[in-house]
């Protein structure tokens, strides 16, 4: 379920947007000022933020590049009473994906959110294996709809194996391809990282090929990057 954050100081506007968006089976959170926006972003990852830029504790335009720096995949739609062309251009140049002027038709907001989500899904390049999704460009792993935190090297090992699901890799190959030319690293470190990945994802995803090394154990949903 995609997560949407509504950042708006008017409680009635938040209520209307939440009611309309909830019908679309979206997970909705709310914030009424910049401080609550920052707190929400520190707790969760959101797919789309609906952002009113005139908030009680400041002008929220500075939050747009901050959100974009944290996650290049987050969708940002500005909702503002400022309707001058330069305001729209400024918002887009800062990194917003769309700009909606108040007063608005809530059905239009829903349509724009859904359109943005479709575009974002099309741009995200991921490896999909049943309930496991791996986003190589973002160092993100999703299992059963929940994000799983892997270390950088754990992720690199998983990505290597998952990108070549029919290939068996020796420990030496994994060591060279993930750690490179670093000296004084034993191939035992590969076993440790595979063990850590299994503890976090379960044992089914990485198979041991006795006497050789490891291979990925999942079948791609469609056989391709998506």
Domain segments of the chain: what residues?
A: 3-123, 127-216
Collect all residues with Cβ–Cβ distance below 8 Å to 77 and sequence separation of at least 6: 48, 49, 50, 51, 96, 97, 98, 99, 100, 109, 112, 113, 116
Query: What is the pLDDT at residue 123?
Result: 56
pLDDT in tens, 75-98: 999 999 887 888 888 888 888 899
pLDDT in tens, 115-132: 998 887 765 567 889 889
Query: What is the pLDDT at residue 125?
Result: 64
- H-state helical runs in 124-170: 152-163
Tokens 């590049």 correspond to 65
Query: What is the pLDDT at residue 171?
Result: 92
Query: What is the pLDDT at residue 35?
Result: 96
Query: What is the pLDDT at residue 224?
Result: 40
Name the pairing type of β-strands 48-51 and 98-101: unpaired
Q: How far apart are CA 87 and CA 101, in angstroms?
A: 10
pLDDT in tens, 42-64: 888 899 999 999 999 999 988 99
Q: Which of 71, 151, 137 has the alpha carbon at shortest distance from 63?
A: 71
Query: What is the pLDDT at residue 2?
Result: 85
Assess if CATH 3.40.50.300 describes domain 3-123.
no
Choices 1.20.58.220, 2.40.40.20, 2.60.260.20, 1.10.10.10: CATH for 127-216: 1.10.10.10
Per-residue pLDDT of the chain (226 residues; tens, 9 = 90+): 789 999 999 999 999 999 999 998 889 999 999 999 999 998 888 999 999 999 999 999 889 998 888 777 789 999 998 878 888 888 888 888 999 999 999 999 999 999 998 887 765 567 889 889 998 877 889 999 889 999 999 999 999 999 888 889 999 999 988 887 665 677 789 999 999 999 999 999 999 999 999 999 877 654 443 3
Q: How far is the CA of 114 from the CAs of 10, 106, 111, in angstroms? A: 23, 12, 5
Query: What is the pLDDT at residue 225?
Result: 35
């Amino acid at each position: 379920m995609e997560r949407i954050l509504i950042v708006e100081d008017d409680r009635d506007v938040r209520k209307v947007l939440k009611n309309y968006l909830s019908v679309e089976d979206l997970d909705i959170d709310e914030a009424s000022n910049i401080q609550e926006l920052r707190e929400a972003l520190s707790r969760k990852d959101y797919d789309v933020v609906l952002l009113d830029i005139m908030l009680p504790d400041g002008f929220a335009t500075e939050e747009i590049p901050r959100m974009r720096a944290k996650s290049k995949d987050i969708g940002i739609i500005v909702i503002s009473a400022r309707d001058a062309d330069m305001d729209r251009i400024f918002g887009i140049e800062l990194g917003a994906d769309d700009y909606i002027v108040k007063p608005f038709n809530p059905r239009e907001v829903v349509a724009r959110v859904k359109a943005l989500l479709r575009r974002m899904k099309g741009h995200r390049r991921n490896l999909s294996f049943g309930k496991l999704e791996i986003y190589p460009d973002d160092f993100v792993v999703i299992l059963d709809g929940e994000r799983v935190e892997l270390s950088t090297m754990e992720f690199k090992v998983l990505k290597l194996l998952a990108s070549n699901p029919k290939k068996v890799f020796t420990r030496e190959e994994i060591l060279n391809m993930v750690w490179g030319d670093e000296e004084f690293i034993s191939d035992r470190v590969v076993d440790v990282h595979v063990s850590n990945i299994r503890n976090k994802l379960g044992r089914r995803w990485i198979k041991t090929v006795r006497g050789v090394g490891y291979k990925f154990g999942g079948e791609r949903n469609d056989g391709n990057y998506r």
